[in-house]
Structure 1
């Protein structure tokens, strides 16, 4: 088992678990999470979410971003300055669309989340630009999603 510094199990899902997780996704979620798509700007249900809590990977439930790091970027996608834990988000070079960007993926299930750009506000100067459909919001004090049965805790 691989555990993050914040105590979450980062062990990838087994083939059987992955099949079950993917079967639970909507067509739009599959397009974004599995096929590295992007939802249209200003349409995501989490764009205006302002309650205290945590944003978790829609596919495997790993906590990715805290609500306190979310900011209004004006781009049309939820934006965050930093992940819950640097080991929860994996950076991958993306050369699609004729440019070089840094794609962000869930470190546990490898699902596409969005991209990170160096034009964010202090303190990090980063803007994690994430698809709403790639996330599940959990209000503070509520149990985190646990589709892999790992019992990782509450928001």
Structure 2
């Protein structure tokens, strides 16, 4: 996990610390539940072996083997690493959606959609903001 000085970054990290650590865009998306424009993220059409970690706290979230091309305009994964992502009901768009956040720091990742007919083992699409993740190549 990332640290600032001797402080571990997690759900108890104060908002003031996140403002110091993250860029304005990262803060808007990760801490304020924003969304980057479709097709603008650097990981949308990215295809390398490794692990995607939380851009806020560096907690591992997704293995590159679960990333797939969904055509939605954001990076898509069909499953997260075990016990790394929380799901919450989100009614902000006037309909029920499922928001996904980093289990460690609570940072907003995006939304998960089920039953869309994608040919993957779970028929899920974790629609994740590129700003919310960073890539660590397989060593």
Same fold flag (TM > 0.5): yes
How many pairs were matched up? 129
Give the C-alpha shift of residue 121 in structure 1: 2.9
Q: Following TM superposition, by how much is the alpha carbon of 1:47 offset from its aligned partner in structure 2, in angstroms?
A: 1.1
TM (norm. structure 2) is 0.86
CA contact (8 A) 1:102 1:116 kept: yes
| Pair 1:88-2:92 in alignment | no
Runs of 5+ consecutive residues of structure 2 not aligned to the other structure:
1-8
**Structure 2: distance between partners of 1:58 and 1:140:** 17
Aligned pairs for 1:107-118 within 5 A? 107-118=103-114
Task: Select 2:38's aligned residue among 41, 45, 54.
Answer: 41
Whether 1:71 aligns to 2:72 is no
Unaligned runs of 5+ in 1: 1-10, 142-155
Distance apart, 1:45 and its partner CA? 0.8
**Conserved in 2, the CA contact under 8 Å of 1:77 and 1:129?**
yes
Q: Which has the higher strand share?
A: 2
**Partner Cα separation in structure 1 for residue 13 and residue 110 of structure 2:** 24
Q: Give, in whole Å, the separation in 2 of the partners of 1:75 and 1:134.
A: 16
After TM superposition, the runs of 4+ consecutive aligned structure 1 residues lying more than 4 A away are none
Aligned equivalent of 1:129, options 124, 127, 136: 127
